[in-house]
Amino acid sequence: MAQSDVILPTERLHELPAVRTITLVDLRDALTKGLDDFWAMPTHVIFLSLIYPVVGVALASATLAYDVLPLLFPLAAGFALIGPFAAIGLYELSRRRELGLDTSWKHAFDIIHSPSIWSIAALGFLLLVIFAIWLAVANAIYVANFGSEAPTTPATFARNVLTTSAGQRLILIGNAVGFLFAVVAFALSVVSFPLLLDRHTGVAVAIITSIRAVLANPLPMAAWALFVAGALVLGSLPFLIGLALVMPVLGHSTWHLYRKVVEPDTSPRPEFQRRPKGRRYGADLPVSLFVPSKPDGTP
Q: State the pLDDT at residue 238.
A: 64
> What does the pLDDT read at residue 16?
85
- Per-domain boundaries in the chain: 24-265
Task: Estimate to the nearest angstrom the gap between the alpha carbon of 219 and the chain centroid.
Answer: 22
Which of 70-79, 127-136, 249-258, 280-289 comes out lowest in average pLDDT? Answer: 280-289
- Higher pLDDT residue, 74 or 54? 74
Percent of the chain scored above 70 by pLDDT? 73
Distance, in Å, from the CA atom of 164 to the CA atom of 149, rounded to the nearest integer, reads 16
**What is the b/e burial string over 207-227, where b = at least 16 CB atoms within 10 angstroms of the residue's CB?**
bbbbbbbbeebeebbeebbee
Q: Using pLDDT thresholds of 50, 70 and 90, give the confidence band for residue 281.
A: low
What value does the mean pLDDT take over residues 2-23?
Answer: 63
Rounded to 5°, angle at Cα 110 from 104 and 115: 155
Query: Among 236, 281, 231, which residue's Cα sits nearest to residue 251?
Result: 231
Treating both helix axes as pointing N-terminal to C-terminal, what angle do 42-49 and 88-98 enclose, rounded to 10 degrees?
A: 170
Q: Which residue has the higher pLDDT, 237 or 164?
A: 164
DSSP state of 17: P
| C-alpha neighbours within 13 Å on the C-beta side of residue 112 | 5
DSSP state of 169: H
Burial (CB count within 10 angstroms: exposed 0-12, middle 13-18, buried 19+), residue 162: exposed
Window from 36-50, 102-116, 277-291 with minimum mean pLDDT? 277-291
Q: Do 29 and 22 touch, CB atoms closer than 8 A?
A: no
pLDDT band at residue 34 under the 50/70/90 scheme: very high
Backbone φ/ψ region at 269: left (φ over 0), alpha (ψ -120 to 50), beta: beta
Q: Does the CA dihedral 178-179-185-189 come out positive or negative? A: positive
Cis peptide bond upstream of 151, omega within 30: no
pLDDT of residue 271: 47
- The helices-and-strands tally (H runs, E runs) of the chain is 13, 0
Sign of CA dihedral 76, 81, 82, 88: positive
Q: How far apart are CA 284 and CA 298, in angstroms?
A: 9
Measure CA 215 to chain center.
21
Q: What are phi and psi of 67, to 5 degrees?
A: 55, 40
What span, in angstroms and rounded, lies between the C-alpha atoms of 64 and 73? 12
